[in-house]
Amino acid sequence: MADLTTHIGSLELKNPVMTASGTFGYGLEFADLVELDQIGGIIVKGTTLEPRQGNPYPRMAETAQGMLNCVGLQNKGVDYFCEHIYPEVRKIHTAVLVNVSGNSPETYAACAARIAELEDIPAIELNISCPNVRQGGMAFGVTCEGAASVVKAVRAAYPKTLIVKLSPNVTSIADIARAVEAEGADAVSLINTLMGMAIDAEKRRPILSIGTGGLSGPAVKPVALRMVWQVFDAVKIPIVGLGGIMNATDAVEFLLAGASAIEIGTANFIDPAVTVKVVRGIEEYLDRHGFRSASELIGLAHQS
Amino acid sequence: MRKYQLDLTLKHLSKPRPGYVLLQLTDPSAPLPEMLPGQFVEVRVDSSASTFLRRPISINLVDRQENELWLLVHVVGPGTQAMAELNTGDRLNVVVPLGNGFTLPQRPASEGEPCAEGSSESAVAPRYLLVGGGVGTAPLLYMGQELVRRGCKPTFLLGGRTSSDLLQLDLFGKFGEVFVTTEDGSAGERGFVTQHSLWQTATAEGGARVYDRICTCGPKPMMMAVARLAGEKGIPCEASLENMMACGLGACLCCVEDTRDGHVCVCTEGPVFPTDKLKW
């Protein structure tokens, strides 16, 4: 049976399948429906230094093969996470990562520093790409200078594995990836949601409370795959690929495009057990094609 | 309460009224899991482009003898339309049970014996008024069944725009006294549920119609009006919300309601809320 182990910097994952932030809660919400221990990694919901109420309802709209959301980083803040959630999630036998967000380089760094104290959180994913908050979020992720400023501040405060989640709402994602690599990021994850909107024709107004939101689901997969492909040629650090992955074939495509690991997001809403099915599917693919390890697939499509 | 993802089989499909469909689902291999009135299921419709997300549907009834889960669906869009076009024998993937459910009285010590709400100090079984509008009546049927099982005699007040919006009246009649309103007067009293004459004598204590709790489900303006009446009379009231949702598990944070405790997920903290928690 093939070896599924993969590496993101110094972080070793038992398999390349992680859950995308904001789509899997703290993992515990899914405990009845999927074997959490079988997942390669769980990236818990976006956490900020201070609690945030997020945007008003309505926050979602269904679209063709996807959905829009404008949740806006609702969370109870990093102190709540450390005191109430961490003691529970540390019991899960897989890598638990925290997605960290902020509204200035200082607040990002302060939040990351709090997470760094948690022994059983081996890595963070830095969210510089949330399209649904006015201050911070994507504002940092759409320029090389903005992205570099946040990564620089966090790198100084956070010694463990640092993954930076990139926005697709940019002219050149490869340039942003290079900028965060230069500031010491250990890996990049991409893509966050694509900015979009939905309008209710009968009511003649936008469906989402703030007008626009982030598009996810199979509708964005070709865009995400292309961006992983481009970033693979641009940087040396590992890539975590995500965007519309629904099954093992989708996941394999991202590995072939250059991802060392993948994240499953919106698909968790459709099938709460999808992650483990994808793990088994990747294993089956490797065996069927005679690969000894999942790492052999990384970037393989570039060689053809 | 433990959640399951199940492939249920459609045993029977009927159309009680134009625009409504009743799905009677079963699990051929095992007894259906434990679930409570007011809880809901997330139905995976199909994988067509326009029905990508699951659809949250309230539990209409659980028939333990037949091992059936009933879903009463109002056909309003492509997802519910696809459900209406299912055939007997089709499989339907559901995640069940989700959400909290209505407040129930304590289970009786022995079957058929009346039971008290909360502590056993009160000798009489709690008196429930269940107020529903349109397809919002669906979860009140299961609530009625469960209340009867626990020794209560619920009163139902059901409303619709017209008589053809009133569903399952015969079944409601098995579980308690049924009052009806229609906006056009085609059945029962004319007007909204909140204009029904029973409210003239409904009180929290010491009147002709004493109620210990009101549970309501239906259009939001109706529930708000019911909550206001309940508040005036000092009767505790619970409302079941149906905000748009994606995951149903408290992960996506899309279905939040702005409550006195801030934004909370309707799918996990609700769908049933004490109305005094809501900013209505």
Region of residue A287 (left: phi > 0; alpha: psi -120 to 50; beta: else) = alpha
Strand partners, B71: B23
The helix-helix angle for A173-182 and A221-234 (nearest 10°) equals 50
| Cβ distance of A59 and B253 shorter than 8 Å | yes
| Cβ distance of B268 and A29 shorter than 8 Å | yes
| Cβ distance of A23 and B247 shorter than 8 Å | yes
pTM: 0.95
Chain A: closest CA distance from residue B269 (Å): 13
For residues B19 and B76, give the distance between their C-alpha atoms in angstroms, rounded to a whole number.
8
Residues 6+ apart with CB under 8 A from A23: A264, A265, A266, A268, A269, B247, B251, B252
- Residue in chain B closest to A53 (alpha carbons) equals B263
Predicted confidence pLDDT, tens digits, chain B (280 residues): 999 999 999 999 999 999 999 999 999 999 999 999 999 999 999 767 789 999 999 999 999 999 999 999 999 999 999 999 999 999 999 999 999 999 999 865 455 555 555 544 455 799 999 999 999 999 999 999 999 999 999 999 999 999 999 999 999 999 999 999 999 999 999 999 999 999 999 999 988 899 999 999 999 999 999 999 999 999 999 999 999 999 999 999 999 999 999 999 999 999 999 999 999 8
Structural domains in chain B, CATH included, are 4-98 (2.40.30.10), 128-240 (3.40.50.80), 242-280 (2.10.240.10)
For residues B175 and B150, give the distance between their C-alpha atoms in angstroms, rounded to a whole number.
12
Closest CA to B25 of B75, B77, B51, B63: B63
**Side-chain half-sphere of B25: how many Cα atoms within 13 Å?**
28
For residues B132 and B83, give the distance between their C-alpha atoms in angstroms, rounded to a whole number.
23
Q: What residues of B are in contact with residue A61 (Cβ under 8 Å)?
A: 244
Strand partners, A188: A164, A239
For residues B198 and B189, give the distance between their C-alpha atoms in angstroms, rounded to a whole number.
10
Strand partners, A126: A100, A164
The model's pLDDT over B247-266, given as tens digits with 9 standing for 90+, comes to 999 999 999 999 999 999 99
For residues A215 and B220, give the distance between their C-alpha atoms in angstroms, rounded to a whole number.
28
Q: What residues of B are in contact with residue A217 (Cβ under 8 Å)?
A: 52
| Cβ distance of A69 and B243 shorter than 8 Å | no
Residue window 243-262, chain B: list those with CB within 8 Å of chain A. Answer: 243-258, 262
The helix-helix angle for A144-157 and A173-182 (nearest 10°) equals 30
**Cβ atoms B181, B131 nearer than 8 A:** no
B19-32 in b/e form (b: 16+ CB < 10 A) is ebbbbbbbbeeeeb
| Cβ distance of A25 and B251 shorter than 8 Å | yes
For residues A1 and A293, give the distance between their C-alpha atoms in angstroms, rounded to a whole number.
9
For residues A11 and A30, give the distance between their C-alpha atoms in angstroms, rounded to a whole number.
24
Q: What ranges in B117-256 are assigned the alpha helix state H?
A: 138-149, 169-175, 220-233
Q: What residues of B are in contact with residue A59 (Cβ under 8 Å)?
A: 253-256
For residues B118 and B174, give the distance between their C-alpha atoms in angstroms, rounded to a whole number.
26
Question: ipTM for the complex?
Answer: 0.95
Query: Token digits for A23?
Result: 């789509």
As a residue count, chain B comes to 280
Longest dimension (CA), chain A: 56
Strand partners, B14: B22
Q: Given this model, what pLDDT does residue A229 score?
A: 98
Interchain CB contact of B279 with A (< 8 Å): no
For residues B195 and A182, give the distance between their C-alpha atoms in angstroms, rounded to a whole number.
69
What single-letter DSSP state applies at residue A160?
S
Residues 6+ apart with CB under 8 A from A190: A165, A166, A168, A173, A177, A224, A227, A228, A231, A239, A240, A241, A242, A243
Nearest neighbour of B95 by CB, restricted to A74, A217, A272: A272
Q: Given this model, what pLDDT does residue B112 score?
A: 53
The model's pLDDT over A157-182, given as tens digits with 9 standing for 90+, comes to 999 999 999 999 999 999 999 999 99
The answer to whether residue A262 scores a pLDDT higher than 70 is yes
Residues of A noted as catalytic: 130
Nearest neighbour of B44 by CB, restricted to A30, A218, A270: A270
Q: What are the C-alpha distances in Å from A297 to residues A6, A198, A258, B85?
A: 11, 37, 8, 43
The model's pLDDT over A93-136, given as tens digits with 9 standing for 90+, comes to 999 999 999 999 999 999 999 999 999 999 999 999 887 787 76
The helix-helix angle for A105-116 and A144-157 (nearest 10°) equals 30
Nearest neighbour of A60 by CB, restricted to B2, B246, B268: B246
Task: Give residue ranges of A with CB < 8 Å to any B CB.
Answer: 22-25, 29-30, 32-33, 45, 53-54, 56-67, 69, 71, 74, 217-218, 268-273
Residues 6+ apart with CB under 8 A from A263: A18, A19, A20, A43, A189, A240, A241, A242, A245
Q: Class for domain A6-303, per CATH?
A: alpha beta
